[in-house]
Structure 1
Amino acid sequence: MTDETELTDIQKAAILLISLGESDAAEILKHLGPKEVQRIGEAMTQLDNVPQSRVEAVVSDFMNVVSDQTGIGINNDRYIRAMLNQALGEEKAKTLIDRILFSTNTSGLDTMRWMDPRQVAEALRYEHPQIQAVVIAYLDADQAAAVLSFFDEKARLEVLMRIAALDRIQPQALQELNDMLESQFTGSKASQSRTLGGIRSAANIMNFMESSLEAELMEGIRDNDESLAGEIADLMFVFENLADVDDRGIQVILREISTDSLVLALKGADTSLQEKIFKNMSKRAAELLRDDLDAKGPVRVSEVEEAQKEILTVARRLADEGEILLGGSGEEMI
């Protein structure tokens, strides 16, 4: 990484945290959301040979920003373990993990958000389907999808349909569930009611599933409740829906994805979507992308789907951060 390379905000955050040392970094990380921590950790793994002048510039920029603020607003949230192990190595990450996971007020339900999806699935395997539905609805959609992938077909269908039927969970019921989980994990009490699940939640979870599981689940839901299947399908955002994103939104997405992923994803896209992508690139970049597409030989469907899912994950994150609207034409997304 040279002095001339323009850094993203995430790369700057990674450089700053590595510069601070474990103790101070831990204090900052425990106040960040899981997606933010994961992205910073991934950026840490990619840092290589950063000049001292670049580090000093990043720290200086940070101090200038902080000096203009009366306070730093940050969202408390969840998981970190796998990212830190990958970013820093198991031994170095252990100190941060212990501090972040076990020195903060983490409820039994919140603890599940920090766990590996397979561990969550194992912990829930013998619970009642309604308990499974509540816990999985509490997770982020991508983690929930990963957890459900470890369920068998019948259980997966039942849980997703229960998630779609969920609404507000009463405080007493949520507290009892939280207490049950805290008998296995560490943390504090939850005492507020929460709105969990619903059709939108089910659709979001479906968005993150492998295409084969997604199709299998949709078929099962349609067999049980055709109207519900239609409502879920209407709320799902699939790769073809990128055609409905406005030009500025497409440009923001393109800045966040690699050319390799884009080439693979567009191999399975229709001509109109390809043209939309081309028109939101510079003429030279569009020509190069066309050449790459033409030169790309046959690829596996699974590779195309994986690349499309990767781009959709970026699009949803940008939408969650308020950077783009997935509905296009100024439609408000909730």
Structure 2
Amino acid sequence: MLPARKKTVEDPERLSGPEKAAIVLLALGEDHTRLWEALDEEEIREISQVMSNLGTVSAGAVEGLLVDFVSGMSSGGAIMGSYEQTQRLLASFMAPDKVEALMDEIRGPAGRTMWDKLGNVNEAVLANYLKNEYPQTVAVILSKVKGEHAARVLAALPEDFALECVQRMLRMEPVQREILDKIEQTLRTEFMSNLARTSKRDSHEMMAEVFNNFDRQTEVRFLSALEERNREAAERIRALMFVFEDLGRLDPGGVQTLLRAVDKDQLGLALKGASDALREMFFSNMSERAAKIMREDMESMGPVRLKDVDQAQMAMVLTAKNLAASGEIMLAGSSSDDELIY
């Protein structure tokens, strides 16, 4: 439980190979960086990860691993593996940008401070971790992150536990620096480092993006085949996909922003394959003259290839996603949770 510290390593026989290597390199310090230069990038990555989570190693354990070097060590031969020590050692022989990239990977989500990093952790993931901690500890942590993120985490916690945390936050007094440091250290070693190793993208979300880039015939073929084998997976993928028809859920301002961003020839081609309702929605957000010209252009196209229509629609969806990413429009998916209220 927070803010407990890791136990001191006493028995070197119970250490893994990478842990032993990390202890040896820590004990040798920055004067022996040529040993690091002999390692390949994957070995450096593995040892760095272990080193940053090592904690305290007793002098006896160090001596057991460094018999040949005992005479050169001080009587207080205990060492501490930490992020700072790891970064200092790496910086002595690696380029600064590579060191920073590697340490960011070890630390987990980006951010200058621990509280910045927590603000970038999905609220469900953070709530799942915090629900096993003391309410007072959770109160301290939530008081240090942005209010909007704290609100989402509280909503994801069990209700009784969340209310207890709220009461603790209401009664909270200034937290001693020592206690705050212990909480930060434990979050760093027991949560963020594990998160960096285990966090991965949801497989259904990844496949939804892949399916979004199929042409229409391939998409239908794969989804139909998947439904026969795993209906639940097919339904989850379909719910996560954002397809051309979903543009019909844009608000008027979003439609007009999208219209200004797409090429008019591409728009006409995409609308050739759209439903009547979606086509009319786009026309209603144009001036009367522009809509008339677009209808005439579409009629003059004559028959068009399905492949060309699919590509034009995919390009419009991609443009919409880019506009959403920059905050210029808001996309709503097919889930009822995404309904817009006016």
TM range (shorter): 0.3 to 0.5
> Computing the radius of gyration over CA atoms, which structure comes out larger, 1 or 2?
2
TM-score normalized by the length of structure 2: 0.40
Task: Answer 1 or 2: higher relative contact order, Cα 8 Å, separation at least 6.
Answer: 2
TM-score normalized by the length of structure 1: 0.41
